Structure 1
């Protein structure tokens, strides 16, 4: 057992040794020789203990320390106890790692431990089953060299792959769909998680096909109903009772036609495919047209519009999809802003990318509703939404269009103080007018 401070006892013993040597030397009239002999004796003893100490360290730290006295006993005991604590910590860490790996092996989802450059350090059995990883050939290989799906490679290459997940077919079976997420941990390390979502993918495909097919089948009869109601309304305008019913029929059939059109557009956007033929969209021109449409929609309510565009800033994408998304934002601002209210549209760029913001001083949105605004048919106020003639799909369309263009939607709003919707696009999709390739915008 390690004692307290050994130095008082050591010094007292050394003092007693040299005092005894001095007395003997004085008695024998050989003081210098006696003191020299005492010093040599002390050095020999210390050298012997130093040899035993080095031999103990060299031959094996697993052995108990040899018996010793004084300062050396203190050193042996202190080092031995420190070794025991280190061994105990190592055993605890090994047990913890074993439990971690056992729990990771038991997970039904694939788990892959990646280094900073996405090299594979370890994986569980589910990763071998879902991603086709094989030991030991795939160890320390780049994950993108094994799973070569273009969308997965693009997912890893993006600046912030941890902000979202991606759904892709398994490399072993194209009928099995995986939801893949990248989670950072530690210092420059990642966990790649892959979950089998085949059942959900099939249900989503069935739902999308059903909505698309039903909407397509409804489109023709609704067009016929609207046309007949319009014709009868013109012919029977003199009969107030019948005319009111025909106008109501015409309004409701037009509303249903808009709903069907939005459902068809949303069904097409939900396929997840990127725009097949991207083009450089002249955003200032497009926004000028949409603001004019917003003024026409405003009509007698006389909203004050303000459009600010950074000249020559183009965006790569599908113009028809972008037009649909941006028009929904501007038209929503018109619908939910009282007469003579302010609506500001701004297109600008900074180091984070390009931004389209639509700001109004309308009724605003309570904070509890903001996370659900992009859900299909979600309404903050059902009565007010129905009165405005909305379909409840506008912001869902905006979300899917932005996803297809690798963009994000940010909503800031307070009840009674208005709202701001900001669409942020990555720098890679930008180009200045007159240049051939994209380049980062000026801050």
Structure 2
């Protein structure tokens, strides 16, 4: 029995030694293997399902897992966090051991002069010295908020101008009540400011309507000929007063799906813009043409033209290349912005071609809609009691 006991004890001792030596390497392998793979498969699938930008960093700051957007945003380069502000936030969380939320303004690229993006970051410490970074791009939302604030500020300024002018003119008119010539002059100025105020309020209403999510819920088949004719009729008196010839032509019988009133407003705004920038005895033309699966409504003037630097901004709200001329002609700076919104809401776009001294061409491009064909007389059912004609 003793030999068997001795062998058993020796075997147990060897087993203890083996278990004491080899599990160290096994445990090391158990740690190294997941680290080399980044994170577990389930964790990778979970992170991949998130819409946010996600980073998982190891204890040395190397990237274990990163969503594709992290590379497109420039957050990760060569397996490391590329932006100093993000690295500093990660190290602060690593040192304190507490999650942190921070909104950071980050550069869009490594080059000087690159734009900025606004990121909302949440950095969370994990086990084993790893760090989870979750980010959401709020750049568009912040830009929208800024546009809204600018819009309110611009509206306030634009409304104050004619209102203040009317108040001043009324006071001056009261003081000059005994002077018929002054009364007529100030009355004419008040009418001009009143028209400007009315136009501004109406265009603000139109622009607000276009920004509603259900602006085109009830789209209908729209006859482009009727739209152009109505828009031309609305500006014909203005054209005659400025002694400008207004010509309408092009391919008839074209249709689009949308809102006839909005399309008429867009074409009328293009005509208003052309008339304001045309000299007396000039000519403004409206042409309609089919271009494949699109309808092109072009308004051509023979005015002073637009400089290339200004063409990129003419569709912005309240932008006026020549404020003095706009004030003299009654422009509000919203007409072309409304055209752009109408085109976008109808699935189209607004184009401009212009050359200083050679006039301008503004084109409203819309998807064409082929109206349903009506049945021919030979295929219609006969009316009861009426024989079919041979």
| Aligned ranges 1:421-432 → 2 under 5 Å | 421-427=362-368, 430-432=369-371
Kept in 1: contact 2:221–2:371 (CA 8 A)? no
| Aligned ranges 1:274-289 → 2 under 5 Å | 274-289=215-230
Secondary structure (helix, strand or coil) at the match of 1:397 reads: helix
Cα distance in 1 for residues equivalent to 2:319 and 2:234: 25
**TM-score (normalizing by structure 2):** 0.53
| Aligned ranges 1:62-211 → 2 under 5 Å | 110=53, 124=67, 195-196=137-138, 197-201=140-144
Cα distance in 2 for residues equivalent to 1:300 and 1:251: 15
Match of 2:278 in 1: 337
Match of 2:245 in 1: 304
Cα distance in 2 for residues equivalent to 1:382 and 1:210: 17
Q: Deviations over 1:217-266 (max 9, x none)?
A: x89x97xx79x97xx99xx7973223432332332133122212212221
Q: Deviations over 1:306-364 (max 9, x none)?
A: 21242221121111111111101011111111122122211121214111111112111
Q: Which runs of 5+ in 2 are unaligned?
A: 1-47, 55-64, 71-135, 376-390
Secondary structure (helix, strand or coil) at the match of 2:300 reads: strand
| Aligned ranges 1:202-241 → 2 under 5 Å | 239-241=180-182
Match of 1:14 in 2: none
Kept in 1: contact 2:227–2:263 (CA 8 A)? no
Cα distance in 1 for residues equivalent to 2:285 and 2:196: 27
Kept in 2: contact 1:284–1:309 (CA 8 A)? no
Shift of residue 366, structure 1, vs aligned partner: 0.9
Cα distance in 1 for residues equivalent to 2:272 and 2:149: 31
| CA separation of 1:360 and 1:279: change in aligned 2, threshold 3 A | same
Deviates more, 1:349-358 or 1:322-331: 349-358
Match of 1:145 in 2: none
The partner residue of 1:363 within 304, 311, 317 is: 304
Deviates more, 1:368-377 or 1:239-248: 239-248
Match of 1:5 in 2: none
Kept in 2: contact 1:237–1:243 (CA 8 A)? no
Shift of residue 365, structure 1, vs aligned partner: 0.7
| CA separation of 1:351 and 1:195: change in aligned 2, threshold 3 A | farther
| CA separation of 1:289 and 1:206: change in aligned 2, threshold 3 A | same
Match of 2:332 in 1: 391
| CA separation of 1:291 and 1:350: change in aligned 2, threshold 3 A | same
| CA separation of 1:278 and 1:339: change in aligned 2, threshold 3 A | same
Deviation beyond 3 Å, 4+ runs, structure 1? 108-111, 194-212, 271-274, 432-436
Cα distance in 1 for residues equivalent to 2:342 and 2:354: 22
Cα distance in 1 for residues equivalent to 2:306 and 2:286: 19
Q: Which runs of 5+ in 1 are unaligned?
A: 1-104, 112-121, 128-193, 437-443
Q: Deviations over 1:369-407 (max 9, x none)?
A: 101001111111111111111111110111111111111
Cα distance in 2 for residues equivalent to 1:417 and 1:307: 20
Cα distance in 2 for residues equivalent to 1:126 and 1:281: 42
Give the total of aligned pairs.
Answer: 245
| CA separation of 1:410 and 1:237: change in aligned 2, threshold 3 A | farther
Match of 1:353 in 2: 294
Match of 1:316 in 2: 257
Cα distance in 2 for residues equivalent to 1:418 and 1:407: 24
| CA separation of 1:362 and 1:211: change in aligned 2, threshold 3 A | closer
**TM-score (normalizing by structure 1):** 0.47
Cα distance in 1 for residues equivalent to 2:320 and 2:197: 17
Deviates more, 1:403-412 or 1:333-342: 333-342
Match of 2:83 in 1: none
